[in-house]
Amino acid sequence: MQSFMQTLVFGIFAGAIYGIAAMGLALVFGVLKILNIAHGELVMLGGYVGFWAFSTLGWDPFLSLIIVIPAIFIVGLILDRIVYRHIVRQLGEEKIKNSLLVSFGLGLVLQNLAQALFTGDERSVQVSYAGEGLNIYGVLLPWTRLATLGIVLIVTLALHFFLRKTYPGKAILATAEDYESAELAGINIGRVYMMTFALGAALAAIAGQFVTFTYSLAPSIGMTWTLKAMIVIVLAGTGSILGALPAGLLLGVVEAMAGAYLAQTYKEVAGLVIFLFVLIVRPQGLFVRK
């Protein structure tokens, strides 16, 4: 029972990172209606900014978020202005096709840029309190993982408040619902698209910072995190931005259980199995109404 609870807890911790990574991609897809394959590279860039702040400035990885989030937010603004604003006004199949091609190429550029700046070696952040935490009836809750989960929950609640209670957030939701009607109502669609993409990039950066002390960081991790985010989006439902967190938690728990009770080689397979199961049984997603 103790080992089961420990596996469950670590699955929840991993799922929190999946959820915050997928939330940014879900936001961009839901509003701009483009599929940004380079989303994982934004996760990777956020991780490298955090690694630089830790290794060069000596900042704690959680404190480094005050650098990581604005830095990748600005990167998102730049990418939208240079690349994606030329795609969002396209329609239907053409938009999806071009966004896939452009973002795939952008991902390669960002990956090679990271390799040139940081080399291809795997990096990680080791904090002095990494092995410390709460011990509740034999179940270890590391401080780093608890802080990660707490920040993810705070960010999710803040995003919910922003989207539902503020004018810019309501403008984003209105644009996601019907961009033509939103434009007729006086909403600056171009600005909404720009801010949405930058916000999605900032969410990816938060996930990237958590990757630095939970997993290993390398220029090649982008596609892995893009695929994780896409699986979570399908589990949650493509119209559910905030549903990405519970869907991420579900994926994290399933992978942890498969790794513990089957084999580590089946960890990724278990995620794909539940992905296919949801597609067949409930194709609209777990957190979207028909």
Give the CATH number for residue 261.
1.10.3470
Whether the per-residue pLDDT at 241 is higher than 60: the answer is: yes
Asked whether residue 289 is assigned to any structural domain, the reply reads: no
Structure tokens at 27: 């936001």
Asked whether residue 272 is assigned to any structural domain, the reply reads: yes
- 273 falls in which pLDDT band (50, 70, 90)? confident
How much is the pLDDT for 90?
A: 76
Asked whether residue 73 is assigned to any structural domain, the reply reads: yes
Asked whether residue 108 is assigned to any structural domain, the reply reads: yes
How much is the pLDDT for 124?
A: 86
Question: How many domains is the chain partitioned into structurally?
Answer: 1
| Lowest-confidence region among 42-46, 139-143, 207-211 | 139-143
- 221 falls in which pLDDT band (50, 70, 90)? very high
Asked whether residue 287 is assigned to any structural domain, the reply reads: no
Residue 104: other Cβ atoms inside 10 A: 15
**Cβ(201)–Cβ(73) under 8 Å?**
yes
Stated pTM of the model? 0.93
How much is the pLDDT for 40?
A: 94
Nearest Cα to Cα of residue 228 among 202, 254, 209? 254
Percent residues over pLDDT 90 in the chain:
51
- 290 falls in which pLDDT band (50, 70, 90)? low
Asked whether residue 39 is assigned to any structural domain, the reply reads: yes
Asked whether residue 286 is assigned to any structural domain, the reply reads: no
For residues 164-190, give the mean pLDDT.
88
- 71 falls in which pLDDT band (50, 70, 90)? very high
How much is the pLDDT for 181?
A: 87
How much is the pLDDT for 119?
A: 85
Asked whether residue 241 is assigned to any structural domain, the reply reads: yes
- 162 falls in which pLDDT band (50, 70, 90)? very high
For residues 205-222, give the mean pLDDT.
92
pLDDT (tens digit per residue) in 113-151: 999 988 888 888 888 887 788 888 888 888 999 999 999
For residues 261-266, give the mean pLDDT.
78
**Distant-in-sequence, close-in-space partners of 173: CB < 8 Å, separation ≥ 6:** 163, 164
User: 142: domain range?
Assistant: 2-281
How much is the pLDDT for 95?
A: 83
The phi, psi pair for 284, rounded to 5°, reads: -75, -5
